[in-house]
Amino acid sequence: MPSKIFKVSEESGTPKYKQLINSLFQSIEKGEISIGDRLPSINSICKEFSLSRDTVLVAFNELKARGIVSSIPGKGYYLESTATQFKHKIFLLFEEFNVFKEILYNSFIEHLKGGAIVDIYFHHFNRTVFKELIDNNNGKYTSYIIMPAKFNDAYNVLKNLPQDKVYILDQTNPTLKKYYPAVFQNFEKDVYSALESGIDLLKKYKKVFFVYPGGKEPVGQMKGFKKFACKHKEQWEFEVIEKLEGRSIKKYEAYIVPSDLDLVSLVKDAKKENLSIGKDFGIISYNDTPLKEVVAEGITTISTDFKEMGQILADMILHSRSGLIENKSQLIRRNSL
């Protein structure tokens, strides 16, 4: 029985798989098919229009990636959505959600300008969850934006996705750089450059601590600090510590704290010890947020521009651009140093 849903013309210069997609969209717009309706089988479409199975599969796979159709093994394909106006359906995998990730996310959504559907997921630094989310959503999206955190073997999971649809965000590694475009932070360079630019502020202190608990924190942060410490070991004392617990802050010390929990502890301890932040001792936090502009009369931060990161990422998706883009970072000077 001829299909009324799909149409293919030999005279058209449009690729046949695109003609299949466009004709389904026209059928949806005319109300000739509804959500839940079963589509003609691949074999019947091949026979009716003298097409190869691969051609039809390319069309159906794109429709699945855009969320328009779904499939049930052994039963066939069904109409899943009528949202044909969206060219992009995006899988966005964050490690966690916090204030600065919210800034990045809102910027990304804003600069997509309504041209995409975005589904957001979180792996919470759990590799099993990371793998399951990616495996379970393979083939369902037109683009995959991944925050791999510190998973050094992330490529072993990502290689199952279509390579031209994957974008890496925030942290990358040499293996991932070989295969995927990325908007990323260079943590080692960022910390080193920020401290170099703040030498005039550090002069009033005798010792600089870097609180590095490990875990989810990028190792590049510690490498950048150690590089700076090695260069200036004649001017200041330096020390990397795992935690603040059990330590009393003293005058003429400066603390670099990637964790906001440690930032809160330092602000509380300063009040308890009657020490003035920025005068008696210094604080540098990592990742800027609006709240850090006002806490303790302003917290100095080392931070990338998360709004810009979201904008660049949206531009890459909308215009199918690739490349390795190192997002800029700087020392934002406030009263805490």
**CB distance 73 to 82 below 8 Å:** no
Q: Tell me, what's the pLDDT at 139?
A: 84
Please state the rounded mean pLDDT for residues 312-333: 95
- Domain ranges in the chain are 16-79, 88-185+306-328, 187-304
Q: Give the helix/strand (H/E) hosting 18.
A: helix 16-29
This prediction's pTM: 0.79
Please state the rounded mean pLDDT for residues 309-316: 96
Percent of the chain's residues with pLDDT above 90: 78
pLDDT tens per residue across span 147-179: 999 998 999 999 999 999 999 999 999 999 999
- Encoded tokens for 70: 């779904």
Distance between CA atoms of 170 and 213, rounded to whole angstroms?
20
Highest mean pLDDT, choosing among 20-24, 95-99, 187-191: 187-191
Q: Is the pLDDT of residue 261 over 70?
A: yes
- Encoded tokens for 60: 């159906």
Q: Is the pLDDT of residue 114 over 80?
A: no
The hierarchical CATH code for the domain 187-304 is 3.40.50.2300
Distance between CA atoms of 75 and 68, rounded to whole angstroms?
17
pLDDT tens per residue across span 212-237: 998 889 999 999 999 999 999 999 99
Confidence of residue 195 (pLDDT cuts 50, 70, 90): very high
The CATH topology of domain 88-185+306-328 is Rossmann fold (3.40.50)
Q: Is the pLDDT of residue 279 over 80?
A: yes
Please state the rounded mean pLDDT for residues 242-247: 90
The hierarchical CATH code for the domain 16-79 is 1.10.10.10
